Amino acid sequence: MSYQSMEEAQLRCKKDGIPFWKAVQIEDVNERGVTLENSWKQMTGMWQSMLENLDAYEENLVSQSGMVGKDGGQMDAYRENEKPLCGDFMAKVMANALKMGCNNACMKRIVAAPTAGACGVLPAVLVTYYREYQVPEETMIEALYVAAGLGQIIANRAYLAGASGGCQAEIGSGSGMAAGAICHVRGGNSEVIANACAMALKNLMGLVCDPVAGLVEVPCVKRNVGGAVNALAAADMALAGITSKIPIDQVIDAMKDVGDKMDVTLRETGIGGVAGTPAGQAVAEKLGM
């Protein structure tokens, strides 16, 4: 049985004297009846797929609707030629989030994390950091366990699908997972991980799912940037010792409550939010949707 709360997982960590990622891996092994090696190998596959998928980005490819595709290349060019407001590292994070979002829209290979629409957040944070700071690969794979473990708690208490809980459940969860994961990479313990995830989730609470023409393109691709930048900000706060005044489990419960109250037009129906604007409607009409 996977962890129903962060509290439960943290108790396990304390009792057995193990880090959060290990507690997640042990539960995976119990749940699926596989070996530790087998589980690790599968997670390594996810990591390697993220690296390959990011490198497979083609800056001249556009989605079938024509709305997205070139954004990653544009951000790269801007970073190389100008001085980004957010600094060089953050500009790389943003470019990578855009690249993965565009890859997804252009029918290239991605790792759903936790969903296809939010596939850019985790690699934008983790792969960019890995390449910038030459961290051992094992640490990154441990970080993926952290991300998956947090995602599983969110799934157990709330949801991960935009159709169920709005974009807070997709990009919001992806951002919370990435925030916790990068804290692990920087040596944060399970308390720091929990605080980072809680703060990332709170910052994106209430985010609606409003895809123009029902496609995973607008505003989804750019929201991956929002999720990645937010994850790093939340992680930095947590690493600075700033705590979430609301415990993570209660934040997740609040997110579910907000999602339940969210009108159906704001839950992946392509009706409300930016999908419902005159410009959004015009796109839908042009595409015959």
Partner 1 sequence: MGNIFDILGPVMIGPSSSHTAGAARIGLIARQLFGRQPEKATVYLHGSFAATGKGHGTDKALIAGLLGMLPDDMRIPVSFDVAKEEGMEFTIENKDIKGAHPNTAQIVMEAEGVPTMKMQAHSIGGGRIKVCKLDGIDVNFSGETCTLIIRNIDEPGRIMDVSAALSKAEINIATMQVFRDKRGGCAVMVVETDQVIPKEAIEDLESKPGIIRVKFLDPNGVE
CB of 117 to partner 1, least distance (A): 7
Q: Which helix (H) or strand (E) holds 153?
A: helix 137-157
From the list 43-51, 72-80, 82-90, 272-280, the region that binds partner 1 by CB under 8 A is 43-51
Which of 227, 47, 19 lies closest to 131, judged by CA?
Answer: 47
Q: How far is CA 11 from the centre of its chain?
A: 25
Q: Which helix (H) or strand (E) holds 8?
A: helix 6-16
Site track 153-172 with partner 1 (rule: CB under 8 A), x = hit: --xx---xx-x---------
Nearer Cβ to partner 1 (110/229): 110
Which of 60, 101, 81 lies closest to 215, judged by CA?
Answer: 101
Query: What is the rounded end-to-end Cα distance, in angstroms, of the chain?
Result: 42
Annotate 9-21 with DSSP letters as a single string.
HHHHHHHHT--HH
CB of 80 to partner 1, least distance (A): 27
CB of 42 to partner 1, least distance (A): 6
Work out whether 5 is an interface residue with partner 1 (CB under 8 A): no
Work out whether 32 is an interface residue with partner 1 (CB under 8 A): yes
Site for partner 1 in 187-246 (CB under 8 A): 213-217
Work out whether 19 is an interface residue with partner 1 (CB under 8 A): no
Nearer Cβ to partner 1 (84/222): 222
Work out whether 151 is an interface residue with partner 1 (CB under 8 A): yes
How far apart are the C-alpha atoms of 2 and 127, rounded to whole Å?
27
